[in-house]
Amino acid sequence: MTDTAAIVGGGVIGGGWAARFLLNGWDVRVFDPDAEAARKIGEVLDNARRALPGLSEHALPAEGRLSFHATMSEAVDGARWVQESVPERLELKRKVFQTLQAHCPHDAVIASSTSGFRPSELQACATRPGQILVAHPFNPVYLLPLVELVTTDANPNGMGTRAADILRGLAMYPLHLTREIDAHIADRLLEAVWREALWLIRDGIATTGEIDEAIRMGFGLRWAQMGLFETYRVAGGEAGMRHFMAQFGPCLSEPWTRLMDVPEFTDALVDQIADQSDAQSGAHTIRELERIRDANLVGLMRALKGQNWGAGAFLVAADAARAPAPHFAAEAVAQRPIDQPLETIARAIPLDWSDYNGHMTESRYLQVFGDATDRFMTIVGCDADYIAAGTSFFTAESHIRHLAEAHPGDSIRVTTRFLGGEGAKMHLFHEMRRGDTLLATGEHFLLHVSLDTRRPVAPEGEVAARLAAVARAHAALPRPDGAGRHVGQRT
Ligand SMILES: NC(=O)c1ccc[n+]([C@@H]2O[C@H](COP(=O)([O-])OP(=O)(O)OC[C@H]3O[C@@H](n4cnc5c(N)ncnc54)[C@H](O)[C@@H]3O)[C@@H](O)[C@H]2O)c1
């Protein structure tokens, strides 16, 4: 049965949560008194559909159903997870919990997105305090993995773990804090930087643009991949963290920072910041900036996946949990018969695969077909262990046909046919589709090679047996349209 999440408050953060749940296969029921809520969430969803699915190397589950409800009681009915994201006012949040606890299942997780309140403050006036915890996400909720999950002694044993498991199922990274504090961890750090930045502007030392350059040209990049302490450890050179503290520790007693004070938000300071921000970024609408931000984040996180590091390592592990069972695995044979073209790729096109024409760039077609070939090799048993033992396949020739445009965010499937092969030869034909639309085909000729001699050698054992089984099964299929074409031939 499909899981159901209720989203109470569908603004910037609630909309992001709605997208995160929906695109991970949950049904989502929204309550928000704002007459514009459906439009706003629709726009967040459009951005999320472009950005999130392509972050994974595997297809996400089928999208859940989205519904809007006139009352909170209707929205939370039957929900397994209720996410409260109403404005940051304690009395409002407490009132909302009173209403929703009267109607939601008693075993539902009720999570608050609050940036500042401790869970005990939210639990204080509740009918069932133990049902409420904090799950503080980061904007854009549909892309960034981190959720600060804060529980108290009022939560029953195991509730934090259960909530963390559910969040991991959404490919989110729960950072579970069992000691509560105002504003949790991340916002305290951010506030320190924010305070310092306000002083730099107020004292006329830097503009909003200069402060942003100081972050994004330098330490912001370091933070994104190593955080604070690992970065400083490296900065300490061979002597590491101790040396770093010996060198820079004494500076902390210098009057470098104005963190203890808060500049007064006079009209003049607010105008100064708003005007500088308009001059810096006003050429783009907020929606455009969101799309630029999303593309940058996807690019960064995909680069970190390549390094298997930080947020990238987390996403690699999340992908592994989504990988389909191999065709020859006992549990997969019934669902994945080999007498049909084999599904070798099911994924969405990432934002960073787009080109100046607004569609998937040429080189990525070869990547997708290359990945499909890799998958086919794994299916027949030519996996990492097999290759490490000394034999593999090398590609000798490729022919790609581009038949229809593919765009970032599109869900694509590749099916693979074994067209022939004797001895060391293997002739594959890949078909890439979006739904029923054939987007491209890739025809490839490979040779099975000894990694010692770099010369062709026929496969043996399990690989030879599986290839023979696929060859027999695919021999009965009609020859695919376009197979054997050469460049420039008329259709
Ligand atoms: N904006 C951020 O970057 C950010 C990040 C993390 C957490 N948060 C937290 O998320 C929560 C929401 O912040 P936001 O930025 O999405 O605010 P927002 O103003 O964009 O959205 C709040 C939404 O709540 C709705 N609302 C108001 N009263 C309601 C009620 N009684 N029942 C249901 N909906 C109601 C509003 O119509 C609005 O759509 C806050 O607690 C905030 O601290 C915000």
User: Ligand 1 pocket check: which of 8, 32, 293 to mutate, most ligand atoms within 8 Å of Cβ?
Assistant: 32
In 3D space, the residue among 115, 170, 123, 195 whose CA is nearest the CA of residue 148 turns out to be: 115
Lowest mean pLDDT among 139-143, 199-203, 245-249, 471-475: 245-249
pLDDT digits (tens, 9 = 90+) for 473-491: 999 999 999 999 999 887 6
325-475 maps to CATH 3.10.129.10: yes
- Which of 162-171, 283-292, 342-351, 367-376 is predicted least confidently? 283-292
Q: What is the pLDDT at residue 327?
A: 62
What's the pLDDT at 329? 65
The CA distances from residue 83 to 86, 94, 146, 481, in Å, are 9, 14, 16, 50
Within 154-253, where are the H helices? Answer: 159-169, 186-202, 208-214, 220-226, 229-235, 240-248
Judged against a pLDDT cut of 80, whether residue 259 lies above it is answered with: no
Count the helices and strands in the chain (H runs, E runs): 17, 13
Mean pLDDT of 462-474: 94
Phi, psi of 400, rounded to the nearest 5 degrees: -110, 135
Tokens of 421: 């092969």
Pocket flag, ligand 1, residue 302 (CB < 6 Å): no
Counted residue by residue, the chain has a size of: 491
381 Cβ closer than 6 Å to some ligand 1 atom: no
Ranked by mean pLDDT, which of 113-122, 263-272, 278-287 comes out on top?
A: 113-122
pLDDT at residue 338 in the model: 86
User: Residue 124's Cα: distance from chain center in Å?
Assistant: 35
pLDDT in tens, 392-421: 999 999 999 999 999 999 999 999 999 998
Class of domain 187-283: mainly alpha
Q: How far is the CA of 117 from the centre of ligand 1 (A)?
A: 13
CA-based nearest residue to 342, from 397, 243, 414, 276:
414
- DSSP-derived letter for residue 58 is S
Domain ranges of the chain: 4-184, 187-283, 325-475
Query: In which band, very low, low, confident or very high, does the pLDDT at 334 lie, cut at 50, 70 and 90?
Result: low
From the CB of 86, is ligand 1 less than 6 Å away?
Answer: yes
Pocket flag, ligand 1, residue 83 (CB < 6 Å):
no
What would the mean pLDDT of 240-268 be, rounded to a whole number? 78
Helix (H, G, I), strand (E, B) or coil at 88: coil
Name residue 24's amino acid.
N
Other beta carbons within 10 angstroms of residue 261's beta carbon come to 10
Entry pTM: 0.89
Task: Answer for the pair 414, 434: CB distance below 8 angstroms, yes or no.
Answer: no
CA R_g for the chain: 27
CA–centroid distance, residue 309 to ligand 1 (Å): 32
| Residue identifier of the C-alpha nearest atom 5 of ligand 1 | 138
> Mean pLDDT over residues 140-159, rounded?
97
Q: How confident is the model at residue 245 (pLDDT cuts 50, 70, 90)?
A: confident
Which atom of ligand 1 is closest in space to residue 95's alpha carbon?
31
CA of 275 to the centre of ligand 1 (A): 25
Distance from Cα 149 to the centre of ligand 1, integer Å? 18
Residue 184 Cβ < 6 Å to ligand 1: no
Which pLDDT belongs to residue 232? Answer: 85
Does ligand 1 have an atom closer than 6 angstroms to the CB of 70? Answer: no
Closest CA to 421 of 387, 454, 382, 364: 382
Atom of ligand 1 nearest to the CA of 34: 37
Name the helix (H) or strand (E) containing 92: helix 90-101
Q: Pick 4-184's CATH classification: 3.40.190.10, 1.10.150.170, 3.40.50.720, 3.40.50.410.
A: 3.40.50.720
Whole-angstrom Cα distance, residue 109 to residue 84?
A: 11
Distance 15 CA to ligand 1 centre (A): 9
Cβ atoms of 48 and 23 closer than 8 Å:
yes
Phi/psi of residue 136, nearest 5 degrees: -95, 110
- CA-84 nearest atom, ligand 1: 11
Local confidence band at 308 (pLDDT 50, 70, 90 cut-offs)? very high
Q: Does residue 34's CB lie within 6 angstroms of at least one atom of ligand 1?
A: yes
Instruction: Please give the backbone phi and psi of residue 144, each rounded to the nearest 5 degrees, phi first.
Output: -80, 135
In angstroms, the CA 296 to CA 299 distance is 5
Residue of 44, 68, 74, 85 to test ligand 1 pocket, by largest number of atoms within 8 Å of CB: 85
Q: Please write the tens of the pLDDT for every residue from 83-131.
A: 999 999 999 999 999 999 999 999 999 999 999 999 999 999 899 999 9
CA 49 to CA 43: how far, in whole Å?
10
Rounded percentage of the chain residues whose pLDDT exceeds 90: 82
- Six-digit token pair at 191? 């506030």
Q: Is the CB of 307 under 6 A from ligand 1?
A: no
H-helix segments, 282-388:
286-307, 311-322, 362-379, 384-388
Closest protein CA for atom 37 of ligand 1 = 34
